[in-house]
Amino acid sequence: MSPFFAAIFLHALCLANAVNDINFSTVYEWDKFDFVWPSGSNISNNRQTFNPNYVHPRYMAVFGERLFLSLDLKSEVPATLVWLPKSGTSTAPKLHPFPSWNLHIKYREECDTIKVTQGIVADPDGRLWVLDDGTYGCSSKLWIFDLNNNDTTERVHQFPDTVVSHSSSKRSLRDVVIDKTPDDYLAYITDSESENIVVYSRKTDQSWSVKTPGRKWDALDLSPNREARQLYLTERSYSNELYSVSVSELKNEGGTAAPKRIGKWREYAYRIVIDNANILYAAFNYKKYLSKWNISEPFREQRVHEVAKLDCSWPFTFTLDADDTLWMTERNESGGVLRHKLFKAAVGARPHLLTALPTP
Ligand SMILES: *[C@@H]1O[C@H](CO)[C@@H](O)[C@H](O)[C@H]1NC(C)=O
Ligand SMILES: *[C@@H]1O[C@H](CO)[C@@H](O)[C@H](O)[C@H]1NC(C)=O
Ligand SMILES: *[C@@H]1O[C@H](CO)[C@@H](O)[C@H](O)[C@H]1NC(C)=O
Ligand SMILES: *[C@@H]1O[C@H](CO)[C@@H](O)[C@H](O)[C@H]1NC(C)=O
Ligand SMILES: *[C@@H]1O[C@H](CO)[C@@H](O)[C@H](O)[C@H]1NC(C)=O
């Protein structure tokens, strides 16, 4: 076989092997994102500086009929937290700021608005938990909104300096997951600039940090098994390593935890989600595929979804909802034409939070 035909043959083989285990269907497709702009207020000034090319979804949550997206901070994008309907007549719906434009007034010096949204998560009681990294002048916060009550602000927790540094160069909050215990909701949070895992208790409105000497973290999620719940974490240092720690090690303020090394991905995983059937899904920086691992078996990376070409950092973000659906956005920067899509797939499994709780 000539090298030319060998190349074609190999190419065809690769295409034939492209994995397509998840049956995604397209929900929306955007050539350009747009916002639902307010009329007549100062905020509409943001419209002049808006550039849809800079809208880049980073984290995602779903509750009821809405889908929430955390967007990369860019001066050309007027809000870092938006929502859109899960279904509708438009094939490219506009983005609504969440909860309102007033909480996204740009360049406002006061620290009473949402500054830099990172991880977001919806709990089964209809609260949206929003991690806000803050700015140079405003410290980091955890916001809790009540989606069943007109999106009112239920809680704004400002992290003390001892938990998340008030110096913006010494912190970088990333992601948050929620653990529903018989009498509380706990949030576990990664700060990729500190060798800590941050914990927040809704009942006491207190936060604390647990030291993990020598290691910093990025993506995280919880295993569904309540009795021996593990927090899975990806190491920030581009080591591609996955770790886990029992949540029982995270109870004590000022304590030290020793996450165990589980295995190594082929690439750097920036997002992980675990469903209640013990399947961990992962997405990788600049890669056009998703992988999975069944956490009740020894670590083994398996590709489950692969597409042609995206040429994008953080190409996907995804989440599970109560209807056993996996939702995923895809950003395609290939060929100089920017495109976004929203997909969904019935996967027959839901978030761990919706696994039945034992009666207290
Ligand atoms: C894939 O999903 C679509 C839409 O949800 C459905 O109509 C189709 O039957 C599914 N295909 C397979 C092979 O499951
Ligand atoms: C709107 O802009 C004007 C002029 O820049 C300013 O005086 C006023 O305080 C602003 N209003 C709000 C609600 O920010
Ligand atoms: C939400 O706001 C609307 C209009 O302001 C009001 O009529 C309604 O009662 C509110 N709903 C709840 C659950 O508070
Ligand atoms: C995960 O692995 C366990 C143990 O081998 C197996 O019983 C289970 O069916 C697997 N789950 C899925 C969804 O494949
Ligand atoms: C991304 O866009 C390029 C250029 O338009 C196209 O060739 C490629 O197939 C697209 N990728 C996907 C996964 O649709």
pLDDT for 26: 97
pLDDT-based confidence at 355, cuts 50/70/90? low
Which ligand is nearest to the Cα of residue 296, counting in written order?
A: 4
pLDDT band for position 17 (50/70/90)?
low
Closest among 79, 85, 63 to 71, alpha carbons compared: 79
Ligand nearest to the CA of 126: 3
* Nearest ligand by distance to the CA of 146: 3
The token pair that represents 196 in the structure block: 């800590």
Cβ 57 vs Cβ 317: under 8 Å? yes
Its CATH class, for the domain covering 21-354, is mainly beta
- DSSP-derived secondary structure letter, 205: T
Q: Which of the listed residues 310, 331, 333, 343 should we mutate to test ligand 5's pocket, taking the one with most ligand atoms within 8 A of CB?
A: 310
Cα(201)–Cα(205) distance, integer angstroms:
6
pTM (predicted TM-score): 0.91
Q: Torsion angle, CA of 294/312/16/279, rounded to 10 degrees?
A: 10
CB atoms within 10 A of CB 332: 18
Please say if the pLDDT value at position 78 is more than 60. Answer: yes
96: nearest Cα among 73, 69, 126 = 69
Whether pLDDT at 11 is above 70 = no
Mean pLDDT of 282-298: 97
Q: Is the peptide bond before 99 cis (omega within 30 degrees of 0)?
A: yes
Q: Cα(317)–Cα(308) distance, rounded to whole angstroms?
A: 17
Pocket residues for ligand 5 (CB within 6 Å)?
307-310, 332, 334-335, 337
Domain ranges of the chain: 21-354
Ligand minimally distant from the alpha carbon of residue 45: 2
CA nearest neighbour of 79 among 128, 109, 117:
117
- Per residue in 219-231, pLDDT (tens digit) is 999 999 888 899 9
User: Which residue's CA lies nearest to atom 3 of ligand 3?
Assistant: 150
The alpha carbon of residue 233 and the mean position of all alpha carbons in its chain are separated, in whole angstroms, by 13
User: Which residue ranges have their beta carbon within 6 Å of ligand 4?
Assistant: 277-279, 294, 296-297
Q: Which residue, judged by its Cα, is nearest atom 14 of ligand 4?
A: 294
Pairing status of strand 152-158 against strand 127-132: unpaired
Q: Assess contact for 197 and 189: CB atoms under 8 A.
A: yes
Q: Encoding tokens for residue 22?
A: 């998840």
What is the pLDDT, as a whole number, of residue 199? 98
Instruction: With beta carbons less than 8 A apart as the criterion, state whether 69 and 56 touch.
Output: no
DSSP-assigned beta bridge partners for residue 157: 142
**Ligand 1, atom 7: nearest CA belongs to which residue?**
25
Please give the distance, rounded to the nearest whole angstrom, from the Cα atom of residue 278 to the centre of ligand 4. Answer: 7
356: exposed, middle or buried (C-beta count within 10 Å: 0-12, 13-18, 19+)?
Answer: exposed
Instruction: Give CA–CA dist 144/128, Å, rounded.
Output: 6
Distances in Å between the Cα of 70 and the Cα atoms of 131, 181, 192, 356 are 10, 26, 18, 28
Residues within a 6 A CB radius of ligand 3: 149-150
Token pair of 268 as six digits? 């750097």
List, for residues 165-189, the tens digit of each pLDDT value. Answer: 999 999 999 999 999 999 999 999 9
For residue 16, is pLDDT > 60? no
Ligand 5: centre distance to CA 286 (Å): 14
